């Protein structure tokens, strides 16, 4: 079960005949709540009741049935409820308003926001991006990736044209760490710190960046951009204008925000680093998790709430049985440019066409989950992840139940401060 979310419930009790500026009061309140950004509200018409005037009103008495009690229920964040109260309180001149703390156990939308294939990528991209130049020292870019924990840093020239990109993977490849582990070398703390230090020593971004870089035009159709991301297995792509100058970045996260109806966000960051020498001390909790039978909308909501951008799939015993990445979800919700006619006809005949939002976590997940106990050291965890070619590690207790998650970038950053 997903971790409950703390929220507040607003209840407004009034009469059906109450009005506001010549219109029905409860309809006016609903419209005010909708415009204020409230997630949703429900109006209930009672079958009987009495209020301050002690007059019993019931639907069985025809004369009084036009003024039955009305209840408006709203559940949202405490901040949104406070804003809503400021707007609707003056409208309720006779009635009752209450609030109380509640826990949201589950909240899903059955229909995801479609991503139109012809939408310009500039409308969903992240615009404010930290960049470096070719002659920036490798030490400085390492501080951005392992200090400020940016997921990627574009490299631009004096005209702000994109000439490369650097990720934590570039740091590791430049230090030849995966190759050393592949031939059986043991990795201890001194080795790890030396590997990271040698990247910074007498090297510039030009020595370690990935180049050339696949980019997107700011006015390019989203369908083509998503197709290219999936085709090249990319997590993000710089967005440039007609002159090749960097104007933003589009990532899997940006796509998922758009599907969920959220606005574009800030440049991607990894989870903040906490002091510690074991993965149990550094892990992110609560773990972003869904069950096998949860659907695509459940998965998407957990992904957007998770700093790790991974969702663990649990069985009935809370054991991790799979993992779903942001890439898995993007592939499912990406806009379709063309559909093969034969495939379309076959899907209709056989009834195999999966509707948006109906795929389950069990169908989306990959089977292999990399796990380790909480007392595993940082260096041992990094070595395990590099050997297995994984960027995430699920922390499990003695019963095999998932209790947290760590990522490679966070562990590398933590290793520098040990």
∠ Cα 212 215 220 (to 5°) = 155
- The structural domains of the chain, ordered by start, are 5-104 (3.30.70.120), 121-259 (3.10.580.10), 279-409 (3.10.580.10)
What backbone torsions phi and psi does residue 137 show, to the nearest 5 degrees? -70, 150
Report the distance separating Cα 111 and Cα 356, nearest Å: 7
Q: For position 234, what pLDDT does the model report?
A: 86
Q: For position 183, what pLDDT does the model report?
A: 42
Residue 267, both tokens: 């440049």
Q: For position 293, what pLDDT does the model report?
A: 84
Report the distance separating Cα 16 and Cα 59, nearest Å: 12
What backbone torsions phi and psi does residue 325 show, to the nearest 5 degrees? -95, 165
Q: For position 261, what pLDDT does the model report?
A: 62
Q: Are strands 402-407 and 392-396 parallel, antiparallel or unpaired?
A: antiparallel
Report the distance separating Cα 217 and Cα 225, nearest Å: 9
Least Cα distance to 3 among 283, 290, 284 occurs for: 290
Q: For position 12, what pLDDT does the model report?
A: 95
10-residue mean pLDDT profile of the chain (418 residues): values are 76 91 91 83 83 55 63 90 92 92 71 66 87 88 74 91 88 60 52 63 83 92 84 88 92 75 59 72 83 81 71 87 81 49 38 51 81 89 82 89 84 66
Report the distance separating Cα 245 and Cα 168, nearest Å: 24
């Amino acid at each position: 079960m997903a971790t409950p979310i703390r929220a507040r419930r607003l209840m407004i009790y009034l009469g059906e005949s109450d009005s506001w500026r010549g219109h029905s009061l409860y309809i006016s309140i609903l419209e005010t709540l909708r415009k204020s950004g409230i997630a949703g509200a429900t109006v209930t018409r009672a079958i009987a009741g009495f209020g301050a005037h002690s007059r019993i009103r019931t639907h069985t008495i025809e004369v009084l049935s036009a003024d039955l009690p009305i209840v408006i229920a709203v559940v949202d964040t405490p901040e949104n409820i406070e804003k809503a109260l400021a707007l609707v309180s003056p409208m309720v001149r006779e009635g009752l308003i209450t609030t109380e703390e509640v826990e949201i156990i589950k909240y899903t939308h059955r229909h995801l926001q479609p991503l139109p294939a012809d939408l310009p990528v500039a409308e969903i991209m992240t615009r404010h991006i930290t960049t470096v130049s070719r002659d920036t020292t490798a030490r400085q870019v390492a501080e951005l990736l392992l200090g400020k924990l940016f997921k990627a840093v574009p490299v631009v020239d004096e005209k702000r044209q994109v000439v490369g990109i650097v990720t934590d993977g570039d740091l590791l490849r430049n230090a030849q760490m995966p190759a050393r582990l592949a031939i059986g070398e043991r990795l201890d703390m001194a080795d790890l710190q030396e590997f990271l230090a040698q990247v910074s020593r007498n090297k510039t971004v030009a020595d370690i960046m990935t180049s050339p870089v696949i980019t997107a035009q700011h006015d390019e159709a989203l369908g083509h951009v998503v197709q290219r991301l999936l085709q090249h297995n990319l997590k993000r792509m710089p967005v440039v204008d007609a002159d090749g100058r960097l104007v933003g970045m589009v990532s899997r996260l940006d796509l998922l925000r758009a599907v969920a109806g959220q606005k574009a966000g800030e440049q991607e960051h990894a989870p903040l680093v906490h002091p510690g020498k074991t993965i149990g001390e550094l892990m992110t909790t609560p773990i972003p998790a869904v069950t096998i039978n949860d659907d695509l909308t459940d998965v998407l909501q957990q992904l957007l709430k998770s700093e790790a951008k991974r969702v663990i799939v649990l069985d009935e015993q809370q054991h991790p049985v799979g993992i779903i990445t942001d890439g898995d979800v993007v592939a499912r919700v990406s806009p379709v440019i063309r559909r093969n006619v034969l495939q379309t006809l076959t899907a209709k005949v056989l009834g195999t066409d999966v509707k948006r939002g109906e795929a389950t976590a069990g169908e989306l997940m990959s089977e292999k989950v990399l796990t380790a106990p909480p007392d595993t050291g940082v260096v041992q965890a990094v070595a395990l992840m590099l050997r297995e070619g994984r960027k995430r590690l699920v922390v499990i207790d003695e019963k095999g139940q998932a209790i947290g998650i760590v990522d490679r970038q966070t562990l590398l950053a933590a290793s520098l401060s040990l």
